[in-house]
Amino acid sequence: MLKTFKGGIHPHDMKELSKDAEIETLPLPDHVHILMSQHIGAPCQPCVQKGDKVKTGQVVGEAKGFVSAPVHASITGTVTAVEDRTLPVTGVPCPAVRIERESDEDEWAEGMNKACDIASLGAEEIKERIQTAGIVGLGGATFPTHVKLSPPDNGKIDAVILNGAECEPYLTCDYRLMLRSPGEIIEGMKLIMKVLDCPNGYIGIEANKPDCYQALAEAAKAEENISAEMLAVRYPQGAEHQLIHALLGREVPSGGLPMAVGCVVQNVATAYAIYEAVNLNKPIVERIVTITGNGVERPCNVLTRIGTPLERLLTHAGLKDEARRVILGGPMMGLAVGTLDLSTIKGTSGVLVLTDPTTWEPGPCIRCGECVRHCPMRLVPSELSLLLDARDFEAALTANIMDCKECGCCSYVCPAKRPIVQQIKYGKAELGAMKKKQEERAKKKAEP
């Protein structure tokens, strides 16, 4: 029996649309917008001005704080504006550096994108390269990777886990990367293990990708302490807590991080980016994006520069007249956008275009218990939904709303079509705002 976790759902994966499309490199865009907030943590500060010439790989936004990651020019050209731009993940304005391309070829910033000898690099030097390259979790979480690789002094990590599940329906960018570059992914994993002085590595791959399992098992066969593991096809198999439970049977405690049970989880695309950052001194200036759905003529997987206009991607895949909805990411965790005037960021793994404009009218909870049965975090989503209807945020906090991973399983199975995950996101945002206000009040009180 294949390893898995409790709860979750099994939607049709819809990966057949784009899984056979090999990764193609998009021509360089005419311009890009490099947003200053492409990660969890403090936004970057622009460090270039209108009129500046920039080279590919040059820092254009400096990290502000430890939980932050710098952003880099993804093309060679001239800065034509530092202006607000809509952040795809939240829809709120965010400062961005606009660069107009001036060359058909990249001119790389000094010392970048060149093979270097890494044999003598120690753990701290590797981590520093990861930090300066602006690596963040590319599975969509966008947490700065160097922070994840800095456990507290007493936090011994004995298992590095690579997430090759790609459980989100429709997306195939990781699938194509695992087939194309298994050796580089394993090298990236070895670098993570070196930084953490970790003895064991595991790669979790869902059983609907047997070719990826074979490719990674083959690439890792000389490494005695790294194993590829086939997992049951079940959403959200790739979520950190579920992956740890499936592979090692360990339970991350409520409110805790994987480090609490000796684990660090990274996506396969992040491991690949780490390989490039350390071996080539190459920052994140590009990523693979799946463009798919029944609203495009030619579903595909493209390697595209960070900051590429969304319309450029849609034109490449051929937007159909019947297209009605565009989602950044997959159907479970992605977000529908209200405008196409957006640019890709480090966390843009997919663009899903659908022709179905159906929306549902939510009904009252019929207490069927389906959401409880399927919640992988063992929460009671129906209770959270009712508490949030009543705007009782404190009670929702007591009911462990912060443990929700926003996977969407509860909304998916709810026969009353209650928008539970949207309510939870709203509730978390309200609690965050309340906490901030309390902190500000406490700070004012403490002032002399």
Residue numbers at the binding site for ligand SF4 (CB under 6 A): 365-371, 375-377, 379, 381-382, 385, 404-410, 413-416, 418, 420-421, 424
| Minimum CB distance to ligand SF4 smaller for 55 or for 425 | 425
Cα–Cα distance between 83 and 305 in angstroms, integer?
19
What three-state secondary structure class fits 60? strand
End-to-end CA distance of the chain: 65
- Residue whose entry in the numeric block shows the structure tokens 């202006």: 83
φ, ψ (nearest 5 deg) of residue 32: -135, 155
CB 378 to ligand SF4: min, Å? 8
| Minimum CB distance to ligand SF4 smaller for 28 or for 407 | 407
**Residue 154 corresponds to which amino acid?**
N
| Minimum CB distance to ligand SF4 smaller for 350 or for 381 | 381
What three-state secondary structure class fits 429? helix
Identify any residues that bridge with 101 across adjacent strands, giving them in sequence order. 77
| Minimum CB distance to ligand SF4 smaller for 122 or for 363 | 363
CB 377 to ligand SF4: min, Å? 4
CB 243 to ligand SF4: min, Å? 14
Nearest to 113 by CA among 73, 144, 62, 68: 73
CB 374 to ligand SF4: min, Å? 6
Cα–Cα distance between 60 and 81 in angstroms, integer?
12
φ, ψ (nearest 5 deg) of residue 386: -70, -40
- The bridge status of strand 77-86 relative to strand 201-206 is unpaired
CB 171 to ligand SF4: min, Å? 18
- Residue whose entry in the numeric block shows the structure tokens 């945020």: 393
**Residue 24 corresponds to which amino acid?**
E
| Minimum CB distance to ligand SF4 smaller for 294 or for 422 | 422
| Minimum CB distance to ligand SF4 smaller for 97 or for 371 | 371
CB 36 to ligand SF4: min, Å? 29
| Minimum CB distance to ligand SF4 smaller for 302 or for 420 | 420
Contact 245, 258 (CB under 8 A): no
Class of residue 346 by CB neighbours under 10 A (exposed 0-12, middle 13-18, buried 19+): buried
